[in-house]
A and B are shown apart, each in its own frame.
Chain A
Amino acid sequence: MLNHRSGTLYEDMYWIDLDNLKIVAEETNALIEKEIVYSDATKKVVENSNGLVTIHSHPNSFPPSISDINSNFTNGYLIGIVVCHDGRIYMYKAMENISVDYYNLTVVEYLKQGYNEDEAQVLALQEIKGKFSIQFKEVTDDDM
């Protein structure tokens, strides 16, 4: 996935059925930068499946976006995984929809404290994790 999109701003995404660990859908031909567009085939798989794990790439190497978090909840995914082009990996799980405004306000609050966009998003997610029903963490060597 990272090799496929190395040097570009396009994302790849895979949906994995945890029952048989098989890839049941994929979007690897994105035409819009930094975004996944679900094909009709993918939408059908998502609508008719339980127990899906998603994994997608982030060319900006940002942590999971608020769209990622809310997609995880709305589509009923088990776990979401983001792999960043700088090597970081994040896992996330949302048990409720998170207000986009609340998220954005929180990010700006951290930006105004001097954090960069990446740091501000990580801190915002950690704060939201404490107040809302989401799980979020960076996968590190300790987790292996």
Chain B
Amino acid sequence: MMICENDRLNIPEEYKRMSVSELQYRKEQIYRDLRQNTKAEVKNVEYKNETVIFHF
């Protein structure tokens, strides 16, 4: 399914009820899982255009 753009903030109610420490704990769990269990998929899109430069 194609992911599409939107201007929405859909926060699950469960998260709004969590304390800051709970939020941080859950974040840390997710981050650890992402970095340990799966290799993050990184796409390098190379495009050469001499006239257009995007600075971040």
Q: How many A-B residue pairs have CB under 8 A?
A: 121
Is A38 touching B4 in the complex (CB atoms < 8 A)?
A: yes
Q: Number of contact residues on B: which range applies?
A: 20 to 34
Q: How far is the CA of A38 from the CA of B5 in the complex (A)?
A: 9
- For B34, give the chain A residue with the smallest CB separation: A99
B interface: dominant SS: loop
In the bound complex, residues from chain A placing their C-beta under 8 Å from that of B44 are 95
A interface: dominant SS: mixed
Contact digits for B1-39, partner A, Cβ 8 Å, 1 yes 0 no: 011111111111001101010011011001100100000
Chain B interface residues (CB < 8 Å from chain A): 2-12, 15-16, 18, 20, 23-24, 26-27, 30-31, 34, 40-45, 47, 49, 52, 54-56
